Amino acid sequence: MFLLLFLLIPVFAAILLLFVKKEQSVNTIAISAALVTLLGAVYIIISKTSSFDAAWLPLLNSRFTLQADGLAKILVLLTAISFPAIFIATSKNQPTQKNIFLSLMLLTQAGLMGVFLAGDALLFYFFWELALIPVYFLCSIWGGEKRIAVTFKFFIYTFLGSLFMLIGIILVYSHTGDQSFALASFKQAHLTSGMQLTAFALFFIAFAIKMPIFPLHTWQPDAYEQSPTAVTMVLSAVMVKMGLYGVIRWLMPLFPTAFIAHSNIVTLLSVIGILYASFIAIRQDDLKRLIAYSSIAHIGLMNAALFSHIQVGVQGVLVQLFSHGINVLGLWIVADIIEQQTGTRSMKDLGGLAKKQPTLAILLVGFAFANIALPLTNAFVGEFLMFNGLFQFNPWMAAAAGVSVILAAIYTLNMVQKIAYGEISAATNLMPAPNKNAQGVLIVLLVIVFFTGVYPQPLFNVTADTLQQLFVK
């Protein structure tokens, strides 16, 4: 029953917001709803595994099942941290019709929570699509210049992908013993190996588009660049995790044979994607595009580690799911402050931030270190484990992917150099007083970065049960 709150609180707050116009109360409602959700997330992390189950579609034998195991918990926690952080950090931004903006954001949150908690395939599909709809409107209404075409491309890509998944779901459903959509029945479906390959492909297309994996990534940099930054934060911190989550939750347990059979090709594609995105990131001048490509590279590494199917690598992914979200969120918030205060995202127009706003510069450097995965930061833990797994799978691939760490250092440090050091540029000089709200959020996030970097054991503990299910038969 408790899990239902993760859906109900955001939805109720979203409906309430439609009727509130006053700026101050709009912010208060959104932030408090998000904070209450965060409290709930913290509660389920420390409590035992819980679940919720109710009849939904008796005809199809589909039930409204929500369940929180380690994988779900860690992503729920990430979602629950991200939204209040985004709301507080961007509370000074003034989109038109802010109440509707925040209302759609909260609906997105509800959709994401549903995706991570669903224990029934049809319900999972339902939320998978529902998370997309508000984002479509958010990006198309409040986005940049080319928003309509770019968002439409994003929408069509993901919609087509999820339709493939729907066929996959129907296919597996028709082979379950008890004609049910429950995750447990799906795991025991009698699929021939040929059927497994087909169903695997159908599911994988949806996840690969969402992550995205090279060569299906073309929607992403444009979408990240054109979306309002608050939405970009949701997209890259939480929404891309839907793809990885889908792989861990559905692909690995449902189609073990097909999963192993495809591991080489998918890992190879991921490694190509990592290098490709890293090289492009080096050439970027636009701050948002740089972070977007850097994010493709990081997600590619996580996918490669997943498909290597080595326990230690998967353990790394489970931790990194959370860490990457926190890090990239921090980077986006810094980018948003810079854009809001200077009016530009072009790095060649920026410079001297360290002199103008030293606190912000320090925070930027902190998140930059996390992006490169230096020791003591949370990303180091995850990436170390992932490379370890990838190395056991295939040393050459690990070596090729390892180049990306160097490349990450190049583009991230280059970014820090251009933004923080040098003479104070004209654009930087325009910056008003520091944005206290956003900086407060950044400090909290940075504390999480270093805390989980030094003492990651809590994250391992939370995800232990998922790992055990995947690897201990």
Q: In whole angstroms, what is the distance from residue 336 CA to residue 229 CA?
A: 6
Residue 171 binds to other proteins (criterion: CB under 8 A):
yes
The minimum distance between CB 24 and other proteins, in angstroms, equals 23
Tell me which H or E stretch contains 400.
helix 395-420
Residue 2 binds to other proteins (criterion: CB under 8 A):
no
- Please list, in sequence order, all residues whose beta carbon lies within 8 angstroms of the beta carbon of residue 362, skipping any fewer than 6 positions away: none
Q: Nearest-CA neighbor of 113 among 190, 13, 223, 213? A: 13
Nearer to other proteins, 57 or 426 (CB): 57
Residue from 83, 87, 116, 126 in contact with other proteins (CB under 8 A)? 126
Residue 159 binds to other proteins (criterion: CB under 8 A):
yes
Nearer to other proteins, 59 or 433 (CB): 59
Residue 53 binds to other proteins (criterion: CB under 8 A):
no
Q: In whole angstroms, what is the distance from residue 87 CA to residue 230 CA?
A: 8
Residue from 63, 73, 147, 418 in contact with other proteins (CB under 8 A)? 147
Which span (163-171, 292-300, 369-377, 421-429) binds other proteins, by CB under 8 A?
Answer: 163-171
Which span (45-53, 57-65, 297-305, 390-398) binds other proteins, by CB under 8 A?
Answer: 57-65
* 8 Å CB contact between 232 and 224: yes
Give the count of beta carbons closer than 10 Å to the beta carbon of residue 72: 24
Residue 59 binds to other proteins (criterion: CB under 8 A):
yes
Nearer to other proteins, 35 or 171 (CB): 171
Q: In whole angstroms, what is the distance from residue 294 CA to residue 301 CA?
A: 11
* 8 Å CB contact between 450 and 444: no
Residue 52 binds to other proteins (criterion: CB under 8 A):
no
Residue 152 binds to other proteins (criterion: CB under 8 A):
yes
Which span (3-11, 127-135, 287-295, 420-428) binds other proteins, by CB under 8 A?
Answer: 127-135
* 8 Å CB contact between 267 and 354: no
DSSP code per residue over 141-187: HHS-TTHHHHHHHHHHHHHHHHHHHHHHHHHHHTTSTT---BHHHHH
Residue 12 binds to other proteins (criterion: CB under 8 A):
no
* 8 Å CB contact between 296 and 212: yes
Nearer to other proteins, 127 or 411 (CB): 127
Residue 47 binds to other proteins (criterion: CB under 8 A):
no
The minimum distance between CB 127 and other proteins, in angstroms, equals 8
The minimum distance between CB 169 and other proteins, in angstroms, equals 9
Tell me which H or E stretch contains 52.
strand 50-57
- The amino acid that residue 356 corresponds to is K
Residue 293 binds to other proteins (criterion: CB under 8 A):
no
Residue from 32, 50, 198, 437 in contact with other proteins (CB under 8 A)? 198
The minimum distance between CB 67 and other proteins, in angstroms, equals 20
Residue from 6, 83, 116, 155 in contact with other proteins (CB under 8 A)? 155
Residue 77 binds to other proteins (criterion: CB under 8 A):
no
The minimum distance between CB 170 and other proteins, in angstroms, equals 5
Residue 324 binds to other proteins (criterion: CB under 8 A):
no
**Alpha helix stretches (DSSP H) within 235-357:** 241-246, 252-254, 256-283, 287-308, 311-342, 353-356
Question: 389 vs 67, 152, 218, 325, 386, CA distance in Å?
Answer: 28, 37, 28, 21, 5
Total of chain residues touching other proteins, rule CB under 8 A: 28
Which span (69-77, 78-86, 137-145, 288-296) binds other proteins, by CB under 8 A?
Answer: 137-145
* 8 Å CB contact between 153 and 224: no
Which span (130-138, 230-238, 350-358, 401-409) binds other proteins, by CB under 8 A?
Answer: 130-138
Residue 430 binds to other proteins (criterion: CB under 8 A):
no
The minimum distance between CB 128 and other proteins, in angstroms, equals 8
Q: In whole angstroms, what is the distance from residue 73 CA to residue 354 CA?
A: 38
Residue 433 binds to other proteins (criterion: CB under 8 A):
no
Residue from 47, 49, 174, 468 in contact with other proteins (CB under 8 A)? 174
* 8 Å CB contact between 65 and 52: yes
- Secondary structure of residue 53 in the 3-state scheme: strand
CA dihedral 172, 175, 181, 186 (to 10 degrees): -70
> Contact residues for other proteins (CB under 8 A)?
56-59, 125-126, 129-130, 133, 137, 140-141, 147-148, 152, 155-156, 159-160, 163-164, 166-167, 170-171, 173-174, 198
